[in-house]
Chains A and B, each alone.
Chain A
Amino acid sequence: MAKRQIALQVFLLVALLLTICLAMMLGRYTISFEKLYHATWEKLIHPDSAGNSVEYSVIFQLRLPRILLAALSGMALSVSGAVLQGIFRNPLVGPSMIGVSSGAAFGAVSAIFMALSGVAVMACSFVGGVLSLLFTMSIAGKVGSKNILAIILGGIVTGALFSALVSVVTFVADPRDTLPVIVYWLMGSFNGADVNKVLLLGAVCLICFSVIFKSRYVINLLALGDEEAYALGVDVVRLRILFLALTTLLTAATVSVSGTIGWVGLVVPHIARMITGSDFRSLVVTSSLIGGIYLVVADTLVRISPFGEIPIGILSALVGAPVLAYLLHTRKVSN
């Protein structure tokens, strides 16, 4: 890979770490860099300690899990979006196009409706997301293995169906107790972040990112089209199923821990493409880093907002839609 691309990725990695560092300092309770440094040092020396300062508790019990969850979510959604835009040969595809977000949302709201525990809500959301992919592929049918359009149409149908089912649950939910929980969950938030959620999403990201990173080059060939990729020796059907499964796992895991956060998977790859070009060898990495920075910054703005904590999904849409409109207007989409 060109030295320029590697330097750019190192720069973005450093930027992500600095963003995380800054995010840990900012909030209703501002923490100076010096206190952050001391608290971090104390954690490294005594990892099991409860800490001796307010800053220690704020950083390691409140902010760090939340910030890490935001970073991982941004990275997961952005990588999913980039990969899907490659295998579907369509720069306007995002994780929601295969119906996974809606399926995961339906799983979660159903669990909330049934007053299940937080862990059960996460599990139902994850399972709902994964099952929605199977639903999409069954709608696409045998044709779908060779026809990208069939998969996209299947995803649209699946997304619409599960969105309708979410609406049904919302409609019948108790407006005093259950409905506010459902609505708040649907708008997306990192407010309930804890170590378990970070570890769960981190484990899924580690596995999926590893496989996607190793196989990022073949996305360039899949983006040529099925016939040409096949003629070049690509096992199109199997690899497409692999990438669909990986992006589904990433999206379902993200939705299960943070609710539905739209636009990230659609917009961030375009921003990355403007910086790094269309080669997926670098686009996958760049998208993940920019996505992490994007959601950490967005969540920090949410936390320090003087108007109260706006759900991250709303902020993401408020920013993402105009950004995409701008990109389309200036014709910076894809090439």
Chain B
Amino acid sequence: MLNIEKIAYTYPESRHPVFRNISLSVAQGEVCAILGKNGSGKTTLLKCITGINKPQQGKIDILPPVGYVPQKVNFVYDMTVLDTIVMGRYQYIGAFSVPKKSDYEIARICAEKLGITELLDKNFSQLSGGQQQMALIARALTLGSNCIVFDEPCASLDFGNQNHILSIISALKVSNTTAIFSTHDPNHVIHVADKVLILRGLDDYLSGTTEDVITDQILSDLYGMQLRKVMIDDRITSVVALYD
């Protein structure tokens, strides 16, 4: 479960806050999307949730540990996929120990859940973007946490891989794991999210259920262009843009 109350965050080297007075409540097992344009503060907010950034105002209540899947990684020193995944167990390993057999076993189980067992002996840098995301998700799963945060998990992925990642996020509900992910694509929100937080400006945000918040008007105002939800067989399937 996650409760955010009126948080504000300003980067140390900046005078201007990224956002202010943000509040959000997500129940255990729900999927919440953070939607906004590029530069609206989605990643900053996610880093506040994971504890990387410390908000200057407000408070965040979340049950640790929190799994984190970054948008991209830049490994200076390459590792095998298995060793990358087992790093997620660090909080149980500690600074003065090394991973045990049991940690590797958990890593293998998480890899198997995501169907990437055949990749375990490869080097992480040899994987495609989608495969790397899967490995990072497996790493987050090894933590066994109640909440996993994904930073733009579908960025740079093709449609097939995007769908695969979103399916994995949606499947977390089965294990009652809360998932929070950021995106700039409202289709991702419609596809899997129960709740959504839309960042529109410094003090301006909307939050609520996906059905209530994702409307044609709100989306059009957000992106400054005509956007429509397309219904097929009386089910919402997609948000389309009406280009000039």
Contacts and interface: CB of A to CB of B under 8 A. Distances in A.
Report the interface size class on chain B. Answer: 20 to 34
Interface in B119-133: 125
Interface string A220-256: 1101110110111111000100000000000000000
A114 B162 CA distance: 70
B76 A217 contact: no
B90 A221 contact: yes
Contacts of B159: none
A335 B51 contact: no
B87 A232 contact: yes
B95 A90 contact: no
B91 to A, nearest CB: 4
A220 B87 contact: yes
A233 B90 contact: yes
Given A215-B95, A217-B93, A223-B77, A228 B125 contact: no
A233 B83 CA distance: 16
Contact of A278 (B78, B96, B99): B78
A224 B75 contact: yes
Contacts of A214: 96-97
Nearest to B95: A218
Contacts of B90: 218, 221, 232-234
B52 interface: yes
Contact of B74 (A1, A216, A225, A232): A225
A235 B98 CA distance: 16
A221 B87 contact: yes
Contacts of A221: 87, 90
B50 interface: yes
B125 to A, nearest CB: 7
Interface in A59-102: 86, 89-91
Given A224-B73, A225-B74, A232-B90, A217 B99 contact: yes
Nearest to B70: A228
B230 interface: no
A233 B77 contact: no
B17 interface: no
B229 interface: no
A230 B70 CA distance: 12
A281 interface: yes
Which of B47, B73, B90 is packed against the most chain A CB atoms within 10 Å? B90
Contact of B76 (A90, A215, A227, A235): A90
B161 to A, nearest CB: 21
B87 A334 contact: no
Contacts of B66: 231
Interface in A154-202: none
A279 interface: yes
Interface residues of A, number: 30
Contacts, number: 69
Interface centre among B51, B75, B78, B91 (most CB of A within 10 A): B75
A48 B20 CA distance: 76
Nearest to B64: A233
A332 to B, nearest CB: 13
Interface in B51-99: 51-52, 65-66, 68, 70, 73-79, 83, 87-88, 90-91, 93, 95-99
Determine which residue in A220, A223, A227, A235 has the highest number of CB atoms from chain B within 10 A of its CB, and name it.
Answer: A220
B14 to A, nearest CB: 14
Given A217-B97, A221-B87, A221-B90, A228 B76 contact: no
B19 to A, nearest CB: 19
B52 A231 contact: yes
B98 A1 contact: yes
Interface in B162-210: none
Contacts of A234: 90, 95
Contacts of B125: 335
A239 B90 CA distance: 14
Interface of B: 47, 50-52, 65-66, 68, 70, 73-79, 83, 87-88, 90-91, 93, 95-99, 125
Top 10 A-B residue pairs of the complex, sorted by shortest distance between their CB atoms: A278-B77, A231-B68, A233-B91, A214-B96, A217-B98, A89-B76, A218-B95, A335-B78, A232-B90, A231-B50
24 contacts: A86-B77, A214-B97, A216-B98, A217-B97, A218-B95, A220-B83, A221-B90, A223-B75, A225-B73, A227-B70, A228-B68, A228-B70, A228-B73, A230-B52, A231-B52, A231-B66, A231-B68, A232-B68, A232-B87, A232-B90, A278-B77, A279-B79, A335-B78, A335-B125
Interface of A: 1, 86, 89-91, 214-218, 220-221, 223-225, 227-228, 230-235, 239, 273, 278-279, 281, 334-335
